[in-house]
Amino acid sequence: MNTAFLITSLIVVASPGSGVVHTLATGLARGRRASLVAAFGCTLGIIPHMLAAITGLAALLHASAVAFESVRVLGVAYLLWMAWHILREDGALRIPTDEAAPRRAPQMIFSAIWINILNPKLSIFFLSFLPQFVRADDPAPTAHLLALSLVFMAMTFVVFALYGLFASAARRHVMSQPRVLGWLRRGFAAAFVALGAKLALAER
């Protein structure tokens, strides 16, 4: 496996983005199991980017101004909705008091998938960086792209799971400090607003 690919992938995966913020928020709000479910959902959200890169849809999106603007507007709207949802006291960063009625895993997975589908960092990686690690004379470029994508997905799950487990470990302290929870809620909301602003200013 190309060392440069592994280093680049680790930087992309570990750098703060919408998936990282979502996994941290889930770990703080709902604990270890939910954080792992969120990490799994974010990992599944990579699949559309992978398929787009392999089939050439990413290049079409990059070339089409209308398609790019549509995805960008949708992404900005979703990130702002996530900011509002976290900022609410009964929103995504609410600490459940009824442990017998957790949020359903399919709901958490669906939300996490959408978070990463609309993650511009992934689009840039699969469009601009991933093809660089496949030689022009590669006898099986599609299989090679698929293998690299699967490695990237595995790294994503491991790193996001570590983020989530770290957040869930601090959950008890957060639950006992309403003021800390309030600051975290505002901080996560601000992070999503910042990510939305960054996407709104992105260029093809």
- For the chain, give percent helix, strand, coil, nearest 5: 80, 0, 20
Distance CA 112, CA 14 (A): 16
Residues 6+ apart with CB under 8 A from 13: 152, 155, 156, 159, 160
**101: pLDDT strictly greater than 50:** no
Q: What is the pLDDT of residues 122-163, one digit of tens each?
A: 776 777 677 778 777 778 878 888 899 999 999 999 999 999
**CA 125/CA 13 separation, integer angstroms:** 10
Please give the residue that has the higher pLDDT: either 204 or 194: 194
* Whether 185 contacts 86, CB under 8 Å: yes
Better pLDDT: 179 or 147: 147
d(CA 135, CA 67): 29
Closest CA to 29 of 191, 161, 170, 162: 170
Helix or strand or coil: residue 118? coil
Domain boundaries, the chain: 18-94+101-200
Share of the chain above pLDDT 90, in %: 14
pTM: 0.70
Higher-pLDDT residue of 14, 99: 14
Instruction: Write out pLDDT tens, residues 53-96.
Output: 777 665 555 555 666 676 667 767 776 876 777 676 555 555 55
Asked if residue 10 has pLDDT above 90, the reply is no
